Structure 1
Amino acid sequence: MRLNRVLALALVTLCLIAALGNWLGGSVNKSKDQGSANVAQINVYGVISDEASGGPFSSGEGANANKLISNIKKAREDDGIKAILLRINSPGGTAAASQAVYEELMRTRKDTDIKIVASLGDVAASGGYYIASAADHIVANPSSITGSIGVIVQTQNVTSLLDKVGVQTNTFTSGPLKDILSPFRETKPEERKILQSIVDDSYQQFLDAIVAGRGMPLEKLKPLADGRIYTGTQAKDNKLVDSLGNYYDALDKTAELANISGDPKVKDFGKGSLFGDFGPFLSTSNQSFPQLTTEWLSSKSQWPRWHKIPLTIME
């Protein structure tokens, strides 16, 4: 038992030393160019939401909408920044959070001369594409998965299962629509109309955002926006993205659009803290809302976090 404790302590110590070395190394590398940085890199990784997160041991990176908006504003207020490079690897997220980040990017385009380029990674679907559509230029890998332009609300009816095991549910509400997404009964016709109106309105807002960001006519966008996903190559053929390439191609395009001569100097806004690598294990977030819908399941590594999203209506 004592040997196990010693080994465990040694392992934790090694992890902390590695994290410290990585953090210090990143700080040293950034310090050389920080004063003259002209490109702000902002990472949109994971599910996009307004989920509360933080604490001294949480990661500074991620797809928390408030954090992303704060980083965009910091980049906009930095006199040396001429462009923003978005690195997006996200299956989507909640409608409001995706919309909030999109609007902050569009405000940047409107109020400044800062150019915005989106570099799509493995996945930039649904809310990930929503955010990307605010960029002046979108670069995707040929095999990136993107699109999934649409909105969804899901609920389950488990009454037959509960009947089999002899479980009865009693619900007391202040109004007939308070339990509109209850899984313990059939959805009423009037509830279906309400939910469909929410889906339709959110969907139209999604379309309007892409039209405004991409300058694509609605009549050309609508046939592409039926919820299907596209590879990067297919998205380019359909003008949902502008060019194909990797991160460095996107960086070159960023420098070109921003008229940056020489090698662009990149500052990573939202760089993780010293303990960022341990954020998923040490986060102080205490939200535990039930998952009411499913996102596009692009990566099993995201599953443990998805139960924290109270309502996802974008997929």
Structure 2
Amino acid sequence: MVWLLKSRSRRQIARIEITGAIAGSTRKRVLESLKQVEERKFPALLLRIDSPGGTVGDSQEIYYALRRLQQKTKIVASFGNISASGGVYIGMGAPYIMANPGTITGSIGVILRGNNLERLLEKVGVSFKVVKSGPYKDILAFDRELTESEMTILQEMIDVSYQQFVQTVAEARQLSEETVRSFADGRIFTGQQALDLKIVDRLGTEEDARHWAAELAGLDPEKTRCITLGERKSPLSRLLSRNQSSLNSLVTIPGISAGMEWLEFELETSGLPLWLYRP
């Protein structure tokens, strides 16, 4: 049976979809799927990215896994509606990149967000007593302002993450770091602009990317099937699968699935540096 699966896989293209904000659950799913691509010896992988980015560490782990897989499998990344920030970083793990002309991409940079609720807490009469081992142990605490020295520490950390991003793009796209820095200021651009900047190689649809992947693998695009691995379930889908009857009515509420995903992401990534585009 294992031999039969591998034999079929050699005549098929694997497809992995990365959608929504990138955090721990996405990383785990994608890494497991990439392992399947390697084990089943798929000759090509179509990586569909439709994401505004996410956490730095999770994006890096997916990128490094893609780099390793390059040695065995042809990889084509297809940028969908949006592939920005961490989505771009992951895309750098693919030697061949295609985007739609109107894809929102770019936003190369790092952001770290914290909430200061000090004034609100004062109004409701809530305060915290903190015992800590060092002056920076509660950096980004939500009940006080950042100090000047804390701002310096955080900015230095962000600058290091930014340099990692710039260096990765420069190496992957065979550009100088100076060239990458000229447009890596957080701005977004279209797929057409990304082509001009050499961030992507071609313009086209996901189907065009599938054809390209088949051709790179020496397969007939018209006769080659695309097998999606590790299909993603949203937080809403997971909840519904646990309790269909009581939560079925939520499906009819517009935007609730997206709202739940962002809530989950915010809880997972509070206080973390992000490669994320979010207006």
Q: What's the TM-score bracket when you normalise by the shorter of the two chains?
A: 0.7 to 0.9
Q: Aligned runs of 1:7-156 on 2, under 5 Å? A: 34=8, 37-51=11-25, 64-79=26-41, 81-109=42-70, 111-112=71-72, 114-156=73-115
Q: Separation in 2 of the partners of 1:227 and 1:272?
A: 28
Structure 1 residues 68-124: Cα deviation after superposition (integer angstroms, max 9, x where no partner): 112112112223x11110011111110000000000001112x32x21111111111
Whether the aligned pair in 1 keeps the contact of 2:107 and 2:187 (CA below 8 Å) is: yes
Superposed CA RMSD: 2.6
Alignment counterpart, residue 229 of structure 2, candidates 254, 266, 269:
269
Whether the aligned pair in 1 keeps the contact of 2:15 and 2:45 (CA below 8 Å) is: yes
Give 2:251's aligned residue: none
Give 2:161's aligned residue: 202
Deviation larger for 212-221 or 144-153 = 212-221
Deviation larger for 68-77 or 152-161 = 152-161
Alignment counterpart, residue 206 of structure 2, candidates 224, 244, 247:
247
Structure 1 residues 253-294: Cα deviation after superposition (integer angstroms, max 9, x where no partner): 112222223522212111368x9983254479xxxxxxxxxx
Whether the aligned pair in 2 keeps the contact of 1:36 and 1:265 (CA below 8 Å) is: no
Q: Separation in 1 of the partners of 2:207 and 2:97?
A: 13
Q: What one-letter code is carried by the residue in structure 2 that aligns with 1:203?
A: Y
Q: What one-letter code is carried by the residue in structure 2 that aligns with 1:101?
A: I
Q: Separation in 2 of the partners of 1:301 and 1:229?
A: 25
Q: Separation in 1 of the partners of 2:267 and 2:148?
A: 29
Q: What one-letter code is carried by the residue in structure 1 that aligns with 2:225?
A: K
TM-score of the two chains, using structure 2 as the length reference: 0.82
Distance 1:236 1:35, change over 3 A: closer
Give 1:212's aligned residue: 171
Structure 1 residues 223-247: Cα deviation after superposition (integer angstroms, max 9, x where no partner): 1110111111111121111111111
TM-score of the two chains, using structure 1 as the length reference: 0.73
Gap runs ≥5 in structure 2: 244-257
Q: What one-letter code is carried by the residue in structure 1 that aligns with 2:13?
A: V
Q: Separation in 2 of the partners of 1:95 and 1:272?
A: 21
Give 1:161's aligned residue: 120
Give 2:275's aligned residue: 314
Count of residues paired in the alignment: 254
Whether the aligned pair in 1 keeps the contact of 2:105 and 2:191 (CA below 8 Å) is: yes
Q: What one-letter code is carried by the residue in structure 2 that aligns with 1:65?
A: R
Distance 1:214 1:281, change over 3 A: farther
Alignment counterpart, residue 182 of structure 1, candidates 113, 123, 141:
141
- Once the two structures are aligned, what percentage of the paired residues are identical? 39
Q: Separation in 1 of the partners of 2:130 and 2:51?
A: 37
Distance 1:270 1:277, change over 3 A: farther
Q: What one-letter code is carried by the residue in structure 2 that aligns with 1:230?
A: F
Gap runs ≥5 in structure 1: 1-30, 52-63, 285-298
Instruction: Quote the offset at 1:181 in angstroms.
Output: 0.5
